[in-house]
Chain A
Amino acid sequence: MAHGPTFEPKNSVLKWTEERLPIFGLIHGSLGPGYPAPRNLNYWWNFGSLAGLCLVIQIITGIILAMHYTPHIDMAFDSVERITRDVNYGWLMRYMHTNGASMFFIAVYIHIFRGMYYGSYKAPREMLWMLGLVIMLLMMATAFMGYVLPWGQMSFWGATVITNFFSAFNDLYAGSGNGDGLGDMVVSLLLGGFSVDNPTLNRFYSLHYLLPFVITGVVILHIWALHIPGSNNPLGIDMKGKQDKIPFHPYYTAKDGFGVFVFLAIFAMVIFYAPDSMGHPDNYIPADPMVTPAHIVPEWYFLPFYTILKSFTIDFIITAKFWGVIAMFASIILLFFLPWLDSSKVRSAQFRPVFRFFFWVLLVDLVVLTWIGAKSADEIIFMDIQAVTIGQVATFWYFFHFFFLLPVLSRVEKTLPLPESIASAVIKDKA
């Protein structure tokens, strides 16, 4: 258990309060000198606090947007335009919220990859890892529903395509083929109608408002689970004695604070100079249920999963469509099993050269999946190769990595010798 000195207030008011509600002790123990952290955390450890900052930014700007937004299909688009044009600083609130969602995903994805590189998902941090994945899933749901709210063409068609994933359940029970299969029933339950329409917009708005607070709750559990074993570190070995630790405050509050300034500076550059760079121009066209845009793409943070969905083109026992949907969900769900797929006792990739190599291959694979996600299936990439083919290879590799390479590698790989302790490694580095 990562426990530092207990909190003993001298001030009588603090003492009185603490005896009745030990809240200062909680803060002291989570962020203050009461939380001893490994002395060797690098900048990749900044992204947890940055993700927390993003959540706060989304909630504040979101609540402000909600004061001016109208959740009705005839008025939603115009109300968002009004926010950007007429409401005082409305443009700022909206661009912070839109780009804030992207920044949130950047922070969280880096945070996850940090965990994958340094083996933070391994014992005793499995619960921490899984709670993190729950947060990621909730974020995806939140961002998807938020993107529907401005009611542009991408909002509408994104919502149509994504809710139609569930029509794949028609494979299990097709009904008469006239819209009464299991999948059709699930889709109309989600939409509140036969197509994406006003009832859909209303319920998405309600849930988009709710979910960030659910996320906040899971974040609290996530931090609670973190504070039981304490932070992992770049060496991936446990803290042994006092010489391995430093108090969170002031050391990491300062380091996190520096990260916040860098992050906000980048965020500000995006908001002020390229506020639409991560969005799609078609979402500035009001939704039209009769016309699908020539090329629909989800937000960038969904692209890898979208490629996996599109990679299944052949019916085999069940339809290609069902395979695509299953594979897409599986690609995320499998991460819950990562602590058991990778059975190596050594956490950090620093001491696992082969694992490290394949970690970077996986990262490249995800870049490819992202890049292909934005292409149409039959686009020629080079020579005669279509986008869909490259997507299929990358999809194969993704599953191969987790289901074959990792389990095998973690059993056969020769790892490098681990240092004696964090302190000895850090001091040797300095010498």
Chain B
Amino acid sequence: MTTIETTNEHDEGATRRDFLNVFAVVGSAVGTAAFVWPLVDQMNPAADTLALASIEVDLSAVEEGQSVKVKWRGKPVFVRHRTAAEIATAKADDGASDLKDPESDADRVTAGKEQWLVMVGVCTHLGCVPLGQQGEYGGWFCPCHGSHYDTSGRIRKGPAPKNLEVPSYSFLSDTRVLIG
């Protein structure tokens, strides 16, 4: 008898109490999660870091066969005035079978301005700055773990997975470029 009585009593009380329990637990979990987000998000780039303005680069002094390295968002950006031979090899290699991240040279430069190659100078492997006009493809060579990029900045050999990144940029005039 007693068993049945207690079960009944328990059943009735349990639904309400269960609701309160579940409500309390879920409520605290949501509340905690909502508070954890600020704790994590404070690590992300702050407003002033994000506000880093775009930069303008003057190309008038960069002769054919020369490059400049400018700092953008704390990283180096390569601006290379390519030689005719470099452009020719880059185009000829568009269909090469060793392109790990296939992209045509035309997609990496501005039409009509093929001589200017603008790239973030950060190796897509683990972030070192590659050295210009070196390596097996006459483009860039990353000394850190041996990645070879061609004259279009495409990865050809070594551990890096991607071509050197082309940032968003636009020509303000024939000799001025805006990066970012």
Contact residues of A with B, CB < 8 Å? 157, 160-165, 167, 170-171, 177-179, 188-197, 199, 203, 289-296, 310, 312-313, 315, 319-322, 324, 376-378, 388
Contacts and interface: CB of A to CB of B under 8 A. Distances in A.
Most buried by B among A161, A293, A294: A161
Contacts of A312: 159
B103 to A, nearest CB: 10
B33 to A, nearest CB: 17
Interface of B: 40, 43-46, 49, 69, 71, 73-76, 100, 122, 125-129, 142-146, 158-162, 165, 168
B43 A193 contact: no
Given A192-B46, A194-B75, A315 B158 contact: no
A364 B177 CA distance: 55
Given A160-B128, A196-B74, 9 more contacts: A164-B126, A170-B161, A192-B43, A193-B74, A289-B74, A290-B69, A313-B159, A315-B100, A321-B161
A315 B75 contact: no
Contacts of A167: 126-127
A199 B126 contact: no
A321 B145 CA distance: 11
Contact of A197 (B74, B126, B144, B165): B74
8 pairs of A and B residues whose beta carbons are closest in the complex:
A195-B74, A319-B161, A377-B146, A164-B127, A164-B126, A292-B128, A161-B126, A292-B129
Most buried by A among B45, B49, B144: B144
A333 B71 CA distance: 39
Mostly, the B contact residues are loop
Contacts of A378: 146
A194 B128 contact: no
Contacts of A290: 69, 71, 76, 129
A292 B144 contact: yes
A291 B129 contact: yes
A294 B161 contact: no
A134 B118 CA distance: 45
Contacts of A196: 74
A327 to B, nearest CB: 12
Nearest to A323: B159
A183 B161 CA distance: 13
Given A160-B126, A193-B45, A195-B73, A377 B161 contact: no
B144 A296 contact: yes
19 contacts: A160-B126, A161-B128, A161-B144, A167-B127, A170-B161, A189-B43, A191-B45, A192-B45, A192-B49, A193-B73, A289-B74, A289-B76, A291-B129, A293-B143, A312-B159, A321-B159, A322-B161, A324-B159, A377-B145
A117 to B, nearest CB: 33
Most buried by A among B73, B126, B142: B126
Nearest to B120: A179
Nearest to A171: B161
B24 to A, nearest CB: 30
Contact of B143 (A177, A190, A195, A376): A376
A157 B125 contact: no
A167 B161 CA distance: 11
Nearest to A322: B161
A165 B129 CA distance: 16
Contact of A376 (B49, B73, B146): B146
Given A161-B127, A321-B160, A188 B44 contact: yes
Given A160-B128, A194-B75, A321-B159, A203 B144 contact: no
Contacts of B159: 310, 312-313, 320-321, 324
Nearest to B143: A294
A153 to B, nearest CB: 11
A202 B141 CA distance: 32
Contacts of A293: 143
Contact of B127 (A160, A170, A177, A324): A160
Contacts of B76: 289-290
Contact of B49 (A177, A193, A322): A193
